[in-house]
């Protein structure tokens, strides 16, 4: 039976915007505006969407790196927003994050062995005499050499740095890792190495991933389930294959059709949307996709469609699929 490790309910995160001479709050960025999802143990949920739609904010809230405005986040059935002290500390070991830019994630003045042992020392996970062995083991997990341990980050390529970041995330024996565009800064051949490594590690250490990306091909390759975000909302979620074969939401359909296919003989029918992704400061009324939706109806700009399950495991927020059109 699939068992959820992560359950997010109605997550909301607003960022205040300050302006004027007195720097008063003059508005809010609706970065995440009522998002719900689960991630089953040892599976990968892919979170896709265009720039600024709120993916990173969802990832950071899920780890409580930033405090949500409202909502609930359960880890193994416990609400992490209520965690304090030792319990929060323990959660911080179990849940890790890997960012897009490996160059910025590593302290340039620390040797690799110190970068890898630091989290173990801070969380007092192992006695001093065992740390060295653990570090040697970590570096081999990500297919780097023991001789690399005495070097500094600038001596490594982007792909090698990302391996070091992944090794550091593994240092505390995590169960859950948020991967925020982990390969976007890398070349294709290096990207493939990192994706293979992540899949191997998931199997070996029974990891659960939230994989954030704007690249649909990568998303389908690595994910069991996929959630599509648009301006602070999840508009559709389904199993990876089902989402690609039978996308229901008009935005998902447009996004998939826009995806360049690396096969000159593939059949293509592009849905070309007009306009661009709206700002999350003043999101459109009703369905946020209505100004660009080729299938919009009268009701669409009046009230928001609810996010409902239309088939087992397939959720969508669009009036085309809800009976309740009032």
Partner 1 sequence: MTANVLLTIRNLRTHFFTEEGVVQALDGVDLEVYEKEIIGLVGETGSGKSVTALSVMRLIPQPGFIVDGEIIFKGKPLHLLSEEEMRKIRGKEITMIFQDPMNALNPVFTVGNQIAETIQLHNDVTYREAFNQSIELLRRLNIPKPERIVNSYPHELSGGMRQRIQIAIGLACQPALLIADEPTTALDATVEVQVLELIKRLRDEFNTSIMLITHDLGVIAEMCDRVVVMYAGNVVEKADVKTIFKHPLHPYTQALLGAIPYAERKKKSRLTTIPGTVPNLINPPSGCRFHPRCKHAMIVCKTLKPMLLEEEQGHFVSCFLYSKNKEFAEREHGVFEPLPGRIVY
Q: How far is the CB of 42 from partner 1 (least distance, A)?
A: 12
Q: How far is the CB of 255 from Mg ion (least distance, A)?
A: 16
Footprint of partner 1 on 109-168 (CB under 8 A): 157, 159
Question: Among the candidate windows 54-62, 100-108, 262-270, 303-311, which touches partner 1 by CB under 8 A?
Answer: 262-270
Q: List, as one string, the DSSP characters of 249-311.
A: SHHHHHHHHHSPPS-TTS--------S-PPPSSSPPSSSTTGGG-TT--GGGGTSPPP-EEEE
Question: Among the candidate windows 11-19, 76-84, 113-121, 211-219, which touches partner 1 by CB under 8 A?
Answer: 211-219
Q: List, as one string, the DSSP characters of 125-169.
A: -S-HHHHHHHHHHHHHHTT--GGGGGS-GGGS-HHHHHHHHHHHH
Work out whether 56 is an interface residue with Mg ion (CB under 5 A).
yes
Residue whose C-alpha is closest to residue 164's, from 115, 93, 222: 115
Which three-class secondary structure state does DSSP give residue 218? helix
The β-bridge partners of 309 are 315
Work out whether 57 is an interface residue with Mg ion (CB under 5 A).
no
CB 239 within 8 A of CB 225: yes
Work out whether 199 is an interface residue with partner 1 (CB under 8 A).
yes
Work out whether 263 is an interface residue with partner 1 (CB under 8 A).
yes
Q: Which two tokens stand for residue 74?
A: 């359960």
Query: How much of the chain is helix, strand and coil, in % rounded to 5?
Result: 35, 25, 40
Residue whose C-alpha is closest to residue 233's, from 68, 12, 72: 12
Work out whether 233 is an interface residue with ligand ATP (CB under 6 A).
no
The listed partner (partner 1, ligand ATP, ligand SF4, none) that binds 250, CB under 5 to 8 Å by sort, is ligand SF4
Residue whose C-alpha is closest to residue 94's, from 170, 1, 194: 170
* Nearer Cβ to ligand ATP (31/234): 31
* Nearer Cβ to ligand ATP (50/304): 50
The listed partner (partner 1, ligand ATP, Mg ion, none) that binds 152, CB under 5 to 8 Å by sort, is none
Q: Please report, as ranges, the residues that interact with partner 1 according to CB under 8 A.
A: 50-51, 157, 159, 187-193, 195-196, 199, 214, 216-218, 220-223, 240-241, 244, 254-255, 257-266, 268, 270, 272-274, 276-277, 292
Q: Please report, as ranges, the residues that interact with ligand ATP according to CB under 6 A.
A: 15, 29, 31, 49, 51-57, 214, 280
């Amino acid at each position: 039976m699939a068992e959820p490790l992560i359950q997010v309910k109605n997550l909301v995160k607003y960022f205040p915007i300050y302006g004027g001479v007195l720097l008063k709050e003059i508005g809010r960025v609706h970065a995440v505006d009522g998002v719900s999802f689960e991630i089953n143990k040892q599976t990968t949920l892919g979170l896709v969407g265009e720039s600024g739609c709120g993916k990173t904010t969802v990832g950071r809230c899920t780890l409580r790196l930033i405090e949500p405005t409202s909502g609930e986040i359960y880890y193994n059935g416990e609400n992490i927003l209520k965690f304090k002290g030792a319990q929060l500390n323990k959660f911080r070991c179990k849940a890790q994050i890997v960012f897009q830019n490996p160059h910025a994630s590593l302290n340039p003045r620390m040797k690799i062995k110190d970068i890898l042992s630091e989290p173990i020392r801070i969380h007092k996970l192992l006695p001093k005499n065992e740390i060295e062995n653990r570090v040697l083991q970590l570096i081999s997990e990500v297919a780097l050499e023991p001789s690399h341990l005495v070097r500094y980050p600038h001596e490594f390529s982007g792909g090698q740095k990302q391996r070091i970041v992944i090794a550091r995330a593994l240092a505390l024996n995590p169960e859950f890792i948020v991967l925020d565009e982990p390969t976007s800064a890398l070349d294709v051949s290096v990207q493939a190495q990192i994706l293979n490594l992540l899949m191997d590690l998931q199997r070996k250490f029974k990891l659960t991933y939230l994989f954030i990306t704007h690249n649909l091909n990568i998303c389908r390759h690595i994910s069991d389930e996929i959630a599509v975000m648009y301006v602070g909302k999840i508009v559709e979620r389904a199993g990876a294959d089902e989402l690609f074969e039978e996308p229901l939401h008009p935005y998902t359909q447009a996004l998939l059709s826009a995806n360049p296919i690396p096969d000159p003989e593939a059949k293509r029918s592009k849905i070309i949307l007009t306009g661009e992704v709206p700002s999350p400061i003043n999101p459109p009324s009703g369905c946020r996709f209505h100004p660009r939706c080729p299938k919009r109806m009268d009701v669409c700009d009046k009230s928001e469609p609810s996010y409902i399950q239309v088939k087992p495991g397939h959720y969508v927020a669009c009036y085309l699929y809800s009976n309740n059109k009032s």
